[in-house]
Amino acid sequence: MALTATIFKAALEVSDLDRNLYGEFHLTLARHPAETDERMMVRLLAFALNADESLVFTKGLCVDNEPDLWKKGLCGEIMLWVDVGLPDERRLRKACGRAEQVALYLYGGRAVDIWWQRNGQQVQRHANLDLWEIPATASRQLAALAQRSMQLQATIQDGDCWLNCGEQTLHIAPLVRLTGTDRG
């Protein structure tokens, strides 16, 4: 018998002071049976950090040629490709060829350093690729917030995110691994 995705609902209020963006997003996240709460919540964080009315979750783990999130233009062009995790460099190369901008949110503690040692030189060639690392402590704290129904408020300033869920507030400071400005 095939396992089905578990559905999570999130009401996310975003106050992004860096981009002067304020909005409320009612999101449905399908957690693939092979996906952890940590990965799903990093996807939700990636949405908050890139929030836009046109940004949507894709089939993700179910489809090899789609990111976790994307923003498409009116003609179907991929304006923003957002992935989380530690993907193969070839996947990133293809994404950079297909999308105007690619954002990758790395997480996994020590595994991120190992991934960077193996892939850092190759990924630096892509001018439209930005990489951020979510610290291991923050990704584990995010995982602990996972509930089938969530009410979240995200405040973003100077690249940091304060994520509030009820009585709990997490401060998440993504570490910049690589941005387009690093390459001139």
Q: What is the pLDDT of residues 120-171, one digit of tens each?
A: 999 999 999 999 999 999 999 999 999 999 999 999 999 999 999 999 999 9
**Domain membership flag for residue 173:** no
**Domain membership flag for residue 11:** yes
Cβ-proximal residues to 52 (8 Å cutoff; 6+ apart), any chain = 21, 71, 80
**Domain membership flag for residue 21:** yes
Count of domains observed in the chain: 1
The counts of H helices and E strands in the chain are: 4, 11
Q: What pLDDT score does 61 carry? A: 60
**Domain membership flag for residue 149:** yes
**Domain membership flag for residue 113:** yes
Q: What pLDDT score does 124 carry? A: 93
CATH number reported for the structural domain that contains residue 65 in this entry: 3.10.640.10
pLDDT in tens, 36-90: 999 999 999 999 999 999 999 997 665 678 999 999 999 999 999 999 999 999 9
**Domain membership flag for residue 130:** yes
Which one-letter DSSP state was computed for residue 142?
H
**Domain membership flag for residue 176:** no
**Domain membership flag for residue 135:** yes
**If you average pLDDT over residues 102-116, what whole number do you get?**
97
140-157 core/surface letters (b: 16 or more CB in 10 A; e: else): ebbbebbeeebebbbbbe
- Please choose, from the candidates 69, 94, 98, the residue with its C-alpha nearest in 3D space to the C-alpha of residue 83: 69
Cα gap 55→99, rounded to integer Å: 13
Q: What is the mean pLDDT of the chain?
A: 93
Structural domain of residue 59, as residue ranges? 6-163
